Amino acid sequence: MPVYNIIQAVNDALRIEMRRDDRVVVLGEDVGKFGGVFRATSGLFDEFGPERVIDTPLAEAGIVGTAIGMALYGLRPVPEIQFADFIYPAYDQIVNELAKFRYRSGGQYPAPVVIRTPYGGGIRGGHYHSQSPEAYFVHTPGLKVVIPSNPIDAKGLLLSAIRGQDPVIFMEPKRVYRASKGDVPEGDYTIPLGKAKIVRPGNQVTVIAYGSMVHTVNEAVERVVAEGFDPEVIDLRTLLPLDQETVLESVKKTGRAVIVHEAPKTCGYGAELSAIIMEKAFLWLEAPVVRVTGFDTPFPYTLENEYLPSPDRVAVAIKQTVNF
């Protein structure tokens, strides 16, 4: 099994699917000859040519808008938005159009477009290269939202997303794009959307994260375990549809929950998770649900490590929740 990082795993998934299904096309800014600014589409242009690996003009609304039209006609477009921070010009096409096509046409027009986009901070990218806008899309009926934390999941989830019948926002954690490595199975395999993974079983508190924050949580957990704590860690992998079963079973077992994400706190995904836990596991709770998140400020440049949830902040939250 080759050791791949997330970029290589994404690249592998795209290549496998483009070989398997000639309806799959990749489009976006710099995705062709150059292979993408993060190299995720590297080599695809040479193998599949300019008709299927398309360098577009610089306009996100055009990338998503044309991808919708391609999907309606029968192709399987996988557009790349270079940074999640640049997705807003395409917001109307995603939220009003892509997400609603199947519904508003009475089921006549499914629009299976998978939008890949790197997200998140910790790369010294400042406000325009660090945001985590997942909540906008989770809040939009008709979209699935997937955020892998590691290369094995990234490949299997991306293959599932492209083979599905629904539009997917596929957010890739760019802080760990290269740092997260794993033994990625060769060839074709899928990981179903909507299934979370228990990263570490434990009994005292459920720590829920996704994407790059899984790595922050793992660091924190390593420390608190050394101090004798026993947290359970869940990597959600898919934000919508959410694997409620895994989350609720865990919280009912531990009686405690800490939610970690790097997006701002107010109306962030943690708020939804917290509400679901309150609605469905209230009688099992031994402590208030705690959120460790980015702050409700624009994403800062110099102080980004203070802004982002750190292993320290997560460790404190775990210990306080257990000792509540």
Partner 1 sequence: MLAKGQTSTPEGSSGSTNEKPFRLLDDDGRLLPGVDAPEIPDADCLKLYRGMLQVRLVDDRYMKLQRQGRLGFYMQSTGEEATHFGGAYALRSTDWVYPSYREPGLAFWRGYSLKDFTNQLYGNVEDPVKGRQMPVHHSARWINLVSISSPVGTQIPQAVGTAWAARIAKKDDVALVYFGEGATSTGQFHVGMNFAGVYKAPCIFFCRNNGWAISTARDKQTASTSFAIKAVAYGMPGVLVDGNDLLAIIASMQDAVARARRGDGPTMIEALTYRRGGHSSSDDPSVYRNPAEVTAWETNDPIERWRRYCVNRKIWTQAAHDQMVAEITDEMMAALKHAESLGPPALETMFDDVFAEMPPHLAEQKAECLAAPRQKITHGGH
Residues classed as catalytic: 129
Paired with 292 in beta bridges are 260
For partner 1, the closer of residues 24 and 263 by Cβ is 24
Q: Are 37 and 177 in contact (CB under 8 A)?
A: no
Q: Could you tell me the smallest distance in angstroms from the CB atom of residue 208 to partner 1?
A: 16
For partner 1, the closer of residues 36 and 112 by Cβ is 112
Site residues for partner 1 per CB under 8 A: 23, 25, 51-52, 54, 56-57, 59, 61-62, 64-75, 77, 89, 92-93, 96-97, 101-110, 141-142, 144, 164-166, 194, 240-242, 244
For partner 1, the closer of residues 67 and 158 by Cβ is 67
For partner 1, the closer of residues 71 and 81 by Cβ is 71
